[in-house]
Amino acid sequence: MKLPNNFLSGLSAGVVVMTSALLLMAAQSPPTKFDEIDVGRINIREPDGTLRMVVSNRAQFPGSPWKGNEIPRPDRKAFAGMLFMNDEGTENGGFIQKGALGAYGKASAGLSLTFDRFRQDQAIQLLHAEEGGRALSMLAINDEADGTQFDVMQRSERMKAIRALEPAARRAAIQEMREKNQLPNNRVMLGTTADGASALSLADAQGRPRLMLLVTASGKPSVQLLNDKGKIEKVIEIEVSSKTL
């Protein structure tokens, strides 16, 4: 049976009105609340779809978000945690963690909280690593290149090409990158060491440690002054005992 055109027009208008009303009700309804939720991965996106944060288990952990795409990272499949992305959908930091019992009941664990320079790698890192009964924890502050001039992906490709060179050419190419400030330089390192000491290392703009404050596991404090070749020029050992306090 053929329906009259005015009936179809009225039906179509009614559907539009009902859909609009449902959308309006959804927009005005309060957000859904959960007391508890089990989930493998959560993607936080902007209204335009740009990915800004991922919270994920190990199995679904992403690769490296880069300008709205994702670069595979098989090395990340051992970790769970979260990643942060900037306005262009590029990774700019995150928190990853793992922990398990390894051989002979020894713990194998790692936690890392990082904040990256734009299109670059870690400018700040808070790290804990544990392996075979030895552990260290540290805070690292690094200089990174301007990511708008030479980004982390360009560096990765350059390093891949350099690894294929002969040793002498490889050293020269790395030195050239260093002179162009295309390699990261650690400036501050504060933490514990695998042998139980605690240390503060301060480096110059080329990443060369120049001052070291050190307390050994046995409690012996010292100050070390280094030259630009990495050689210790002077050591100030501080003798402190309970008798002098």
List the pLDDT tens digit at each of the 245 positions of the chain. 454 555 445 545 555 556 666 566 656 678 889 999 999 999 999 999 999 999 999 999 999 999 999 999 998 889 999 999 999 999 999 999 999 998 788 899 999 999 999 999 999 999 999 988 889 999 999 999 999 999 999 999 999 999 999 999 999 999 999 999 999 999 999 999 888 999 999 999 999 999 999 999 999 999 999 999 999 999 999 876 666 55
**What does each C-alpha distance from 232 to 11, 209, 211, 226 come to in angstroms?**
87, 10, 9, 4
3-class state of residue 125 by DSSP? strand
The pTM assigned to this predicted structure is 0.81
Count how many residues are written for the chain.
245
Q: What is the CATH number of domain 184-245?
A: 3.90.930.1
Query: H-helix or E-strand containing 15?
Result: helix 5-28
Token pair listed for 49: 């779809």
CA angle 124, 129, 130 (to 5 degrees): 170
Q: CB of 38 within 8 A of CB of 57?
A: no
What is the distance between the alpha carbons of residues 29 and 36, in angstroms, rounded to a whole number? 21
Instruction: Find the Cα–Cα–Cα–Cα dihedral 190, 62, 79, 85, rounded to 10°.
Output: 30
Token pair listed for 129: 């690593």
What is the distance between the alpha carbons of residues 68 and 80, in angstroms, rounded to a whole number? 21
Q: Which amino acid is at 235?
A: V
Residues 6+ apart with CB under 8 A from 217: 195, 196, 197
Q: How many CA atoms lie within 13 A of 100 on its CB side?
A: 7
